Structure 1
Amino acid sequence: MTIARAQLVSLNTTTYYHCVSRCVRRAFLCGEDPLTGQSYGHRRQWVEQRILALAQVYCIDICAYAVMSNHYHLVVHINQSKAQQLSDKVVIERWSREHLLPPQILRYLKGRASAAEIPVCKKIIHLWRERLYSLSWFMKELNFSIARQANQEDRCGGHFWEGRFKSQALLDEKALLAAMAYTDLNPVRAGIAPTPEASQYTSIKRRLDSLKCRQLNPTGLLPFIRDVELEKSDAIPFGLLDYVEWVDWVGRQMREGKTGYIEPNQPTILARLSLKPRESLDLCFRLEQKRCLWIGTSEHLHSVKIKLNRQRIHGLSI
């Protein structure tokens, strides 16, 4: 039975989510058509650029992403507090980057709205403010624009994506760390890149390329808490270099039964988060092998079950 998105995305439970969207025509998202030999690889850049562009509009922070040949992964942070702190004019300005403004809002901006129009404008702005931190709206606008571009290129119509996007709630730092590493290592595991820094259209490559240019954090990606002077709610709760070492170490362990892997190493983040290497590695494997909606410790999963008033939840305990 399908679970309502309002229950899957609960900001009272967690603000971090792992999302996956898959193409209904599978190989024709970004891969190569075996019949015609035509390559669709340029569409991976479409998806990456669209993700980063929408991150500048919405209060949805991008922790990690990977654009593959027939699907993409996103790990996001929903920044509700940021959206609530925006002024009405900033909300309108953000919304106008992707949408046409109605006449009454244009008059409101110029100070020419009538007394009867002002309450209506306030309601519209309130609605837009809520949409700016809506994961469903973010994913809808991302998928719609890519589907429209692809259908125009293919000169066809119909569905481009395989139903609605899948989401997993990340209930603690361990779950967030595992989901980010799993996402960033997708090209390595698929055997299309030898190392994370060589994997195209991933957040980790974008971060590493930025470091080469002496820029600590690239535009469009949520920074790491130890690398910037930000509140914890506005940054990933560990350091960039620790994370890079962790991804490298996990990638080196992916040998048996995996298409791709990199050489082994030991990250310092294991000790700092009290993670046992084998348990953390198993979690990264189980993220792919077991379909689940919530990821966290047994205590966190039990708490979610109580909040949602459910007898059982489809969760992965770590």
Structure 2
Amino acid sequence: MGDDPYSGKNFDHRKVWIEQHLQQFAAAFGIDLLGFAILSNHFHLILRTRPDVVVAWNDQEVARRWMLLCPHRRHADGSPMPPTESEIQSIAGCPVKRAEIRKRLSSISWWMRLLCQRVATRANREEEESGRFFQDRFHATRLADEASLLACAAYVDLNPIRAAMAATLEGSDHTSLQRRIQAIPAGDRCEVAGSANPLAMAAVDSVDRFLSPLTIDERTDPIGPCPSESGCRCSDKGFLAMPLEDYLQLLDWTARQVAPGKRGKTPAGVPSVLKRLRLDASSWCELASDFGSLFCTVAGRPERVDSMRSHRTHRRYHLRRRARELLTSAS
């Protein structure tokens, strides 16, 4: 999905394919898209399944959404045509099929299955090839608490910088982070810490409208499903207990710590969010840079992970030693 050193061709346009599919899926599935980063040979997604939202949809809405994802008919450009009443009734009128589709609409496995399948089909058609495009099935890590969610969000958003594909937050192409920065009103972008001439970026309204809102205020925000009325995303529920400005400052500070040759002394004004989540600066840097190797099936504080059991086997989850050390020392 990037530069091919053997043929000399560039395949960055496939990253655009994925972003287009993410927008479509966020509007149709009962799943919140919290973050994403698309690199040259892999991509990361942070997803929150929302069966509570799907339960509120009537039978016709369930059928309509599925028909938009898997249409019987398409326009000449490949976009799905609106389903007919008979197509909707083929699902809404069948209790067995309807129940199965409801489960699929909040299933991360189905989201990933359709996404990877469509990218593979387009890539194979483009190169007149057949067979696998992605090496293997996706790997998923369950995020069990706020600290692991914040560390994972930073890990995903900072991927292009760590891979030397970008030098700044706003220059990290094909990421949810860039979308959120572009959606900031032009007059407010001077507040973004570490931005390289952010006012020079074109102001694009609502380019992040398919993403879940970043901020959640547990004291004042409404509880419950919070379904979105925009039709661009599943719900309007945020996921981090901080404003976007604080999150950007935290990422900018973190990027400077993990950048080669810039490990200097920890700044005096470490963002207060680290203290709120009981994370010290050194532990945070390691969590944000090595998240993928520290966690496997579940990510969270030891006391949280130790209390959890697999829904399928009822066995306890295993937390790797270094992850346990980091999150214990930070408590």
Q: TM-score range by the shorter chain?
A: 0.7 to 0.9
Q: Tell me: CA distance 1:306–1:41, structure 2 relative to 1, closer, same or farther (3 Å).
A: closer
Alignment of 1:134-153 (within 5 A): 134-153=107-126
Q: State whether structure 2 residue 314 is matched by structure 1 residue 309.
A: yes
- Give the CA deviation at 1:313: 2.3
Residue type at the aligned position of 2:314? N
Residue type at the aligned position of 1:178? A
Q: Residue 71 of structure 1 aligns with which residue?
A: 42
Structure number with higher strand proportion = 1
* TM-score, length basis structure 1: 0.78
Q: Tell me: CA distance 1:155–1:279, structure 2 relative to 1, closer, same or farther (3 Å).
A: same
| Contact 1:108/1:121, CA 8 A, preserved across alignment | no
Q: Residue 212 of structure 2 aligns with which residue?
A: 222
Partner-residue secondary structure (3-state), 2:165: coil
Q: State whether structure 2 residue 161 is matched by structure 1 residue 188.
A: yes
Residue type at the aligned position of 2:57? L
Deviates more, 1:214-223 or 1:185-194: 214-223
Report the Cα distance in structure 2 between the residues aligned to 1:157 and 1:177, rounded to whole angstroms: 39
- Give the CA deviation at 1:266: 3.3
Residue type at the aligned position of 1:294? V
Q: State whether structure 2 residue 192 is matched by structure 1 residue 200.
A: no
Q: Residue 80 of structure 2 aligns with which residue?
A: none
| Contact 2:150/2:240, CA 8 A, preserved across alignment | no
Q: Tell me: CA distance 1:125–1:271, structure 2 relative to 1, closer, same or farther (3 Å).
A: same
| Contact 1:175/1:296, CA 8 A, preserved across alignment | yes
Q: Tell me: CA distance 1:245–1:232, structure 2 relative to 1, closer, same or farther (3 Å).
A: farther
Alignment of 1:7-156 (within 5 A): 30-100=1-71, 106-107=85-86, 121-156=94-129
Q: State whether structure 2 residue 240 is matched by structure 1 residue 237.
A: yes
| Superimposed CA distance per residue, residues 225-267 of structure 1 (whole angstroms, 9 cap, x where no aligned partner) | 1499443762213222221111111111103589x99x97733
| Superimposed CA distance per residue, residues 176-216 of structure 1 (whole angstroms, 9 cap, x where no aligned partner) | 00000000000001111011111100000000001134857
Partner-residue secondary structure (3-state), 1:96: helix
RMSD of aligned Cα (Å) = 3.1
Residue type at the aligned position of 1:188? I
| Superimposed CA distance per residue, residues 6-29 of structure 1 (whole angstroms, 9 cap, x where no aligned partner) | xxxxxxxxxxxxxxxxxxxxxxxx
- List alignment gaps of at least 5 residues for structure 2: 74-83, 186-202, 226-236
Report the Cα distance in structure 2 between the residues aligned to 1:90 and 1:166, rounded to whole angstroms: 30
Q: Residue 230 of structure 2 aligns with which residue?
A: none
Report the Cα distance in structure 1 between the residues aligned to 2:88 and 2:108, rounded to whole angstroms: 27
Report the Cα distance in structure 1 between the residues aligned to 2:285 and 2:224, rounded to whole angstroms: 26
Q: Tell me: CA distance 1:217–1:268, structure 2 relative to 1, closer, same or farther (3 Å).
A: farther
Report the Cα distance in structure 2 between the residues aligned to 1:82 and 1:311, rounded to whole angstroms: 29
Q: Tell me: CA distance 1:198–1:303, structure 2 relative to 1, closer, same or farther (3 Å).
A: same
| Contact 1:225/1:232, CA 8 A, preserved across alignment | no
Report the Cα distance in structure 2 between the residues aligned to 1:232 and 1:270, rounded to whole angstroms: 27
Q: Residue 166 of structure 1 aligns with which residue?
A: 139
Of 259, 283, 288, which residue of structure 2 is paired with 1:284? 288
Report the Cα distance in structure 2 between the residues aligned to 1:33 and 1:282, rounded to whole angstroms: 31
| Contact 1:305/1:313, CA 8 A, preserved across alignment | no
- Give the CA deviation at 1:281: 1.4
Partner-residue secondary structure (3-state), 1:69: coil
* TM-score, length basis structure 2: 0.75
- Give the CA deviation at 1:312: 5.5
Partner-residue secondary structure (3-state), 1:61: strand
Runs of 4+ in structure 1 deviating by more than 6 angstroms, as ranges, are: none
Report the Cα distance in structure 1 between the residues aligned to 2:204 and 2:129, rounded to whole angstroms: 44
Report the Cα distance in structure 1 between the residues aligned to 2:114 and 2:131, rounded to whole angstroms: 17
Aligned length: 279
Report the Cα distance in structure 2 between the residues aligned to 1:55 and 1:211, rounded to whole angstroms: 21
- List alignment gaps of at least 5 residues for structure 1: 1-29
Report the Cα distance in structure 2 between the residues aligned to 1:45 and 1:252, rounded to whole angstroms: 28
Report the Cα distance in structure 1 between the residues aligned to 2:207 and 2:273, rounded to whole angstroms: 19
